[in-house]
Amino acid sequence: MIARITLVLSAMVVSAPALAEPWDCIFTVECPLGADCREAGFEVQIIAADHEGQLFASSIMGETPITRLTARATLPASYASTGQAGLAELLTVEPDQTAIMTVHFVDGATSAVTYLGTCTAF
């Protein structure tokens, strides 16, 4: 009986979605402001990259400090950053692990791109 309860509890832990960092996000659709959406291949990781637990968004563009806007260990999880070269980013991971990220370019001509994809815990 105890073995059966342990097996059920283990299955519940494995099947439950992760509720916190780190996230590996792959965005397969991008929608530039004022243009049609198109296929994309943009990847972002949300990681704790220092000994203090500060979160960072890591992508091909580098690492940017990011702040979790929602309570830890809850979904949806939302994050915001003000990145390098006039970027501002907002990322939300939904309970089903779908994700939406909007990048605002605020240095010079204002524009934005919204990305759609999924995030998985790693």
Q: What is the pTM of this model?
A: 0.80
User: Is the residue at 82 inside a domain?
Assistant: yes
Quick one: residue 30, left, alpha or beta (phi over 0 = left, psi -120 to 50 = alpha)?
A: beta
* Contact between residue 49 and residue 58 where contact means Cβ atoms under 8 Å apart: yes
Instruction: Identify the bridge partners of residue 111 per DSSP, sorted by sequence position.
Output: 105
Q: What are the angstrom distances between the C-alpha of 118 and each of 27, 42, 43, 111, 112? A: 6, 11, 10, 23, 20
User: Is the residue at 75 inside a domain?
Assistant: yes
For residue 9 the two structure tokens come to 């509890």
SS3 86: coil
Per-residue pLDDT of the chain (122 residues; tens, 9 = 90+): 454 433 333 433 334 456 778 999 999 999 999 999 999 999 999 998 777 779 999 998 788 899 999 998 899 999 999 866 788 999 999 999 999 999 998 888 889 999 999 999 98
User: Is the residue at 72 inside a domain?
Assistant: yes
Range of the domain at 22: 17-121
Number of domains the chain is built from: 1
